[in-house]
Amino acid sequence: MNKFLILIAGLFSGACSYGQIGDAIHCGYDFTSYIVVKPHEDGKAQTINGLKMSICDENGKEVINTNFNLSWKNNNEPLRFVRNYKIDENNKKLNDFTQGKWFYYFADDHYLVTVSNTFNAELYYLKIEDIDGEENGGHFKTFTMQLAPYNMYILCTSEEKQKAMQFGRRMNKPIDIVLEKY
């Protein structure tokens, strides 16, 4: 009987320890989501370089990340997208897109912005501008669209949760935007 109680106590203690260890392990993307955008011309797959992309309000005014309320990066600054880039085997940024691997593996050759998991996407808009005098010379029309929760990349989810969401729009896909020229 004594050995039986020791065995039960050992199993219970091991199960509790495993549960504590399992709860302590976190995903590197906990508390963070991304919005990824692929702007291109009609009939072309190549992402357009040199665009100014930001999160704005319904009036087109850039939203400021006051006190880290919208993102864990760039406090008290506008939420602006950055272009993904490639890195070498030493994690050094490369200027050439033909070699290396993407720094943000999920964003390929696109633009992205990091937002908190509590970001209410439906309250904000995506604004894409081609600034005159920049890389494209202002050839593309300004584009604005309202965001939705499904536009956010949620990278720390269980496989079961992903399977449960198999119907409807697929998650973790870039927003595909076709820009028009003037």
C-alpha radius of gyration, the chain, whole number: 22
The rounded distance, in Å, linking the Cα atoms of 97 and 47 is 12
The arithmetic mean of pLDDT across residues 70-87, rounded, is 92
Percent of the chain with pLDDT over 90: 43
Q: Mind listing the domains of the chain with CATH numbers?
A: 27-179 (2.60.40)
pLDDT reported for residue 44 = 94
The arithmetic mean of pLDDT across residues 42-50, rounded, is 91
pTM value is: 0.73
**How far is the CA of 9 from the CAs of 3, 5, 15, 33, in angstroms?**
10, 6, 10, 41
Question: What residues form DSSP beta bridges with 117?
Answer: none
Report residue 58 as tokens: 């319904």
The rounded distance, in Å, linking the Cα atoms of 55 and 124 is 7
Contact 22, 158 (CB under 8 A): no
> 25-40: per-residue pLDDT in tens?
555 455 678 899 999 9
- Three-state DSSP state, 102: strand
Is the alpha carbon torsion for 67, 72, 77, 79 positive or negative?
Answer: negative
Q: Looking at the chain, how many residues does it have?
A: 182
pLDDT reported for residue 164 = 45
Query: What's the DSSP call for residue 148?
Result: -
pLDDT reported for residue 28 = 46
The rounded distance, in Å, linking the Cα atoms of 42 and 142 is 15
Contact 121, 50 (CB under 8 A): no
Q: Kindly indicate the confidence band of residue 159, based on its pLDDT and cuts at 50, 70 and 90.
A: very low
The rounded distance, in Å, linking the Cα atoms of 88 and 57 is 37
